[in-house]
């Protein structure tokens, strides 16, 4: 069995395990897309719970299979909640996904994202500009001081974030997923390029956030690289399928959730991807 | 006219009154499902308004027909807002619905739910695990210290919560609705079992919360038992109908709102239910 | 070319510019409809970003094309964020849209809305009751002390708010849009009445908020009057079209987003409207 077949077999196992054990992935996430994150997590077979307070986040971190942390719409309480939960997760050796949304905007966001460095998120998911900016903030290879982040949208290509993604993955010992027209997923030694998706995914809000939330669900059942790749694969598959059936972003979002729910383990594993050595 | 016919006639009256007077039911609720709560309240003919601050909650409590309180995603301000609004509602004799989401997680949640005991919520709506845990927290019959709450999902059956539901209803003098595969509604002396619904209701987020919000709308136009039963009936009816027309959770949520909107008073009253004496 | 043709030509330019430059309109908005606001902004070709903290709001205000401020679900931090961002916007001469949701409820809301008077929002969008109450709060013509605001719904007709709308527009030097069965848009010297829409727009939550968010997107590419009229026109067009294809509020919301996305510049400019001199 080649390396690709091995990975496909691990994807199948991740998807099936999730559908069997229904793992709870708690989230501290933004209020714009919080509903889509939860519904996407449920659609793939996980369970969702969202909180804001430090002790509640600690409870979910300890009892859940994995945790999703998205810094999208920071509230004052996040100053206490986020470093605390990241520390708890790190010390407990529990998987967690960091979504460094809009890194570069505001002082609390910068302070929190800096603090996360030592707590080594298991998976980091972002668009190219966010990945490059986070690597810069953490003073790793491929990062840059000059953030190209414009609000929440990327102005860099996925390819441009390759070096930063590898450096981040090497630092954390986990995986990094760069979302874009094609997705790049790496654990620092191997790179997967996942194909598919839809232009409608940029015409709705939350395609990226909910991908992060779904990656957390899979991280409760697989290693970081497989979890990130499985999440990207089911998103690319569901996006491609949904686009064929709709003609606007409203119906795309509805159909996309349906396709997330209907995708089988084999179909997800067979969604096109390429591998390359770092 | 038998007791069942009498209840059906009261359900018809509740539904029609709501469609006529369009009662405002203010909410302090979680950010995950806040949009679905509001849209479900509008779909059945009510009016919605959501707030966080103590004086705004007091305003809605006093001017609205009923109030919905959901402790899902607590923010620090809730420590001031929730006991205050519960007190205002109790002293004004205004109906309110308590949704003790994820009772057992975190210290503020426990503290708030304990405080609510003396303010006697008119309707308590929760899944079986939440109802059992709340009865335990209030040291009533049927409750337990060992909470089986796993995040926001139930690990107990509706039947297992019967004793706790009755004890809670006797304490408050109102009604309790336990949501599950079948729903149990009681005022402490009579029990209704409401049938229908869909397996998709566990595959979307907010079926429970929005049922609580809709119960608040009906509580502005009927007694607690009828309000809780009417809300459960329209949910079971709309869920059953929506499931027949869709093949995924995204389209289920859309179709479900449509069915909530289209259900007539007679259809809701005729949704199957059984009665038993306590 | 008559005045109406001139306006239609400016509407076409506004729509096409937005689709070309994809302007970012940051928002500080309520948590009930925050997702719909973002998705509507994306559907018409804009870009969205939502924040709560003062320095983040300042960042978006300075870098975005325009800003949307909605006081729907106030959090304590808004006491710092909102006056600060309004001041930044006013001093930078950047367009911003104020949505005075539920003016009259609570002391912070009243205090914030009073403070906004000197920062002259470029566009004010509200229902008739909100426009009348805001004019009253600012002690302008057509306003009243006796607020008819019942939660978030209007109890006054659009026509009744005409005097208040004109007075507000004259004070700010911008535009005012009164939403209702027909919409009234004025810059203080000319009035446009925009026709269309759907009765389903009162059966979903967020038709008004997201119209405000979309007006902010157009305000990044057109003068306040044209921006407000363009937003009202595309909403009336999309609402009318969506209603023909659906039979409930769930599917209406989905179809409405699709129609927002599909409407062409010419179709929006040709959506029926009348003009009158003040």
Q: Hey, is the C-beta of B42 within 8 angstroms of any chain C C-beta? A: yes
pLDDT at A144 over 90: no
- Give the pLDDT score at C145: 67
Q: How close is the nearest chain C Cα to the Cα of B217, in Å?
A: 14
* A42 and chain B in contact, CB less than 8 A: yes
Nearest Cα residue in chain C from A77: C77
| pTM exceeds 0.95 for this model | yes
For residue C153, pLDDT beyond 70: no
pLDDT at residue B149, as a whole number: 58
Mean pLDDT calculated for residue range A118-146:
93
- Give the per-residue pLDDT at A149: 58
pLDDT at C93 over 90: yes
- For each successive 10 residues of chain B (278 residues), what is the average pLDDT? 94 98 97 97 98 97 98 97 98 98 94 97 97 96 70 78 98 97 97 98 97 98 98 98 98 98 98 96
B37-68 pLDDT per residue, tens: 999 999 999 999 999 999 999 999 999 999 99
Contacts of B220 (CB under 8 A, 6+ apart): B18, B21, B23, B24, B25, B46, B64, B65, B66, B95
| pLDDT mean over A242-264 | 98
How far apart, in Å, are the Cα atoms of C19 and each of C42, C43, C59, C217?
10, 10, 23, 10
What does chain C come to in residues? Answer: 278
- The pLDDT-based confidence of A150 (bands split at 50, 70, 90) is low
Q: Which residues contact A244 (CB under 8 A, 6 or more apart)?
A: none
Residue C105 contacts B where some CB pair is shorter than 8 Å: yes
Q: How far is B46 from chain C (nearest CA, A)?
A: 9
B102 neighbourhood in chain A, CB within 8 Å: 49
pLDDT at C150: 54
Q: Which domains does chain C have, with CATH numbers?
A: 3-277 (3.40.1190.20)
Q: Considering only the C-alpha atoms of chain B, give the largest distance between any 2 of them, rounded to a whole number of Å.
A: 51
The ipTM is 0.95
Q: Which residues of B are annotated as a binding site for substrate?
A: 50, 206
Q: Are B23 and B218 in contact (CB under 8 A)?
A: no
The answer to whether B204 faces chain A, any CB pair under 8 Å, is yes
Sheet holding C175-179, edge to edge: C47-50, C24-28, C66-70, C96-99, C123-127, C175-179, C183-186, C190-194, C273-277
In chain C, what percentage of residues exceed pLDDT 90? 94
Quick one: pLDDT at residue B270? 98
Give the span between the Cα atoms of B203 and C175, in whole angstroms: 45
Q: Do C249 and B261 touch (CB under 8 A)?
A: yes
Kindly report, residue by residue over C195-218, the tens digit of the pLDDT: 999 999 999 999 999 999 999 999
* CA angle, residues C33, C39, C41, in degrees to nearest 5: 100
Tell me how far apart the alpha carbons of residues A212 and A139 are, in angstroms, rounded to a whole number. 23
CA–CA distance from B174 to each of B83, B195, C137 (Å)?
19, 22, 41
- Best of A105, A129, A206 to disrupt the C interface (most C CBs within 10 Å) is A105
Nearest CA to C133 out of C145, C120, C123 is that of C145
Distance CA A258, CA A40 (A): 9
Q: Which of A121-125, B243-247, C151-155 has the lowest mean pLDDT?
A: C151-155
* Positions at the binding site of B: 50, 125, 179, 206
- Asked if A42 lies within 8 A of B205 by C-beta distance, the reply is yes
Give the Cα separation of A218 and B274 in Å (integer).
Answer: 42
Q: At what angle do helices A54-63 and B107-115 cross, to 10 degrees?
A: 110
Nearest chain B residue to A75 by CA: give it. B75
State residue B28's pLDDT score. Answer: 98
User: Which chain A residue has its CA at the smallest distance from C45's CA?
Assistant: A203
Burial class (CB in 10 A: 0-12, 13-18, 19+), A1: exposed
DSSP β-ladder status, A24-28 and A66-70? parallel
Tokens at C233, concatenated: 């026109």
Confidence check: pLDDT of A148 > 80: no
A107 is in an annotated binding site: no
Tell me, rounded to whole angstroms, the distance of Cα B160 from its chain centroid: 18
User: What confidence tens digit (pLDDT) does each residue in A85-101 have?
Assistant: 999 999 999 999 999 99
What per-residue confidence (pLDDT) applies to C147? 56
**pLDDT above 90: percentage of residues in chain A:** 94
Tell me the C-alpha distance between B148 and B141, whole Å.
Answer: 17
Q: What is the pLDDT, as a whole number, of residue B146?
A: 58
Give the per-residue pLDDT at A143. Answer: 87
Contact A155/C at CB under 8 A: no
Q: Considering only CB atoms, which chain B residues are within 8 Å of C243? A: none
């Amino acid at each position: 069995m080649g390396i690709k077949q091995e990975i496909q077999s691990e994807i199948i196992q991740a998807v099936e395990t999730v559908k069997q054990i229904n793992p709870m992935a708690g989230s501290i996430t933004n209020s714009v897309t919080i509903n889509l994150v939860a519904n996407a997590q449920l659609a793939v077979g996980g369970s969702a719970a969202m909180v804001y307070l430090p002790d509640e986040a600690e409870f979910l971190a300890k009892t859940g299979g994995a945790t999703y942390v998205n810094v999208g719409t920071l509230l004052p309480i996040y100053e206490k909640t986020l470093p605390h939960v990241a520390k708890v997760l790190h010390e407990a050796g529990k998987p967690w996904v960091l979504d460094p949304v809009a890194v570069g905007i505001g002082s609390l966001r910068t302070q929190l994202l800096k603090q996360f460095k030592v707590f080594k998120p298991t998976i980091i998911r972002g668009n190219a500009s966010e990945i490059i900016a986070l690597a810069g903030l953490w003073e790793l290879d491929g990062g840059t001081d000059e953030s190209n982040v414009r609000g929440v949208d990327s102005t860099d290509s996925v390819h441009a974030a390759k070096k930063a993604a590898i450096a981040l993955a090497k630092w954390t010992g986990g995986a990094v997923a760069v979302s874009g027209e094609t997705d790049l997923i790496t654990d620092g030694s191997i790179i997967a390029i996942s194909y598919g998706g839809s232009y409608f995914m940029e015409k709705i809000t939350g395609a990226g956030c909910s991908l992060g939330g779904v990656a957390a669900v899979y991280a409760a059942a697989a290693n970081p690289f497989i979890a990130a790749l499985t999440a990207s694969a089911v998103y690319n598959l569901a996006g491609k399928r949904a686009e064929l059936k709709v003609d606007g972003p409203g119906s795309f979002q509805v159909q996309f959730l349906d396709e997330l729910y209907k995708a089988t383990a084999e179909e997800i594993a067979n969604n096109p991807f390429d591998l390359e050595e770092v």
